[in-house]
């Protein structure tokens, strides 16, 4: 599966409207998109990759000895031997083919709520590559923990999500991140002012 690929350099030109429509489509229908020609120097991306690789190398021994990693390695080995390994929550996970040096954008739960469901948050996970290493460098743009989150709704429209405090959501998310997202929103519903 290939998520939408958007040429970010076209945002400041004659194709701006088309590029904005592509970004909206990526947010509305996928919850992900890839940016190419994003203007970040490849030298900087290479430097970040090298720093991450070195950090990973330094932490690898302790990481590999941890119980969660040993459990995962046992599951991977069982799969390699041809033994049945149950998928997580019976999900049909798809491989996403990404482009080298592209930036993958994930809209996330907060954008789904703020857009009142117009932009979707895709449920996803990162799988190890069978033939080599995989490097993901996540960068989150989150509000303050005290921030009130509520859907933007037009006049006369109903909110599809409850209002909540971001920090409360993160507390619930950290305990339930592999569960369906809808109950998380309800679990952190902010009380209505009297």
- Residue 178: partners with Cβ closer than 8 Å, 6 or more residues away: 88, 89
pLDDT range class, residue 194, cuts 50, 70, 90 = very low
Q: Quick one: pLDDT at residue 91?
A: 47
Q: What is the pLDDT of residues 40-95, one digit of tens each?
A: 999 998 888 888 888 877 777 776 777 766 777 777 788 788 877 655 444 455 56
Cα radius of gyration (the chain): 20
pLDDT range class, residue 97, cuts 50, 70, 90 = low
> Average pLDDT for residues 103-121, to the nearest whole number?
88
pLDDT range class, residue 191, cuts 50, 70, 90 = low
Average pLDDT, whole number, for the chain?
A: 81
Give domain limits for the chain.
Answer: 5-141, 143-194
């Amino acid at each position: 599966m290939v998520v939408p690929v958007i040429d970010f350099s076209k945002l400041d030109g004659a194709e701006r409207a088309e590029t904005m429509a592509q970004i909206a489509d990526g947010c509305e229908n996928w919850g992900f998109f890839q940016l190419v020609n994003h203007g970040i120097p490849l030298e900087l991306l290479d430097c970040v990759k090298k720093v991450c690789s070195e950090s990973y190398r330094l932490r690898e021994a302790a990481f590999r000895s941890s119980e969660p990693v040993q459990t995962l390695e046992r599951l991977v080995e069982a799969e390699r031997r041809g033994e049945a390994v149950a998928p997580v929550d019976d999900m049909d996970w798809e491989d996403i083919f990404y482009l080298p040096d592209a930036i993958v954008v994930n809209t996330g739960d907060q954008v789904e709520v703020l857009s009142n469901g117009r932009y979707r948050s895709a449920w996803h996970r990162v799988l190890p590559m069978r033939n080599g290493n995989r490097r993901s460098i996540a960068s989150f743009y989150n509000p303050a923990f005290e921030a009130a989150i509520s859907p933007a709704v037009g006049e006369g429209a109903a909110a599809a999500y409850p209002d909540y405090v971001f920090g409360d959501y993160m507390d619930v998310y950290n305990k339930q991140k592999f569960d369906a997202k809808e109950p998380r929103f309800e679990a952190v519903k902010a009380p209505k002012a009297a």
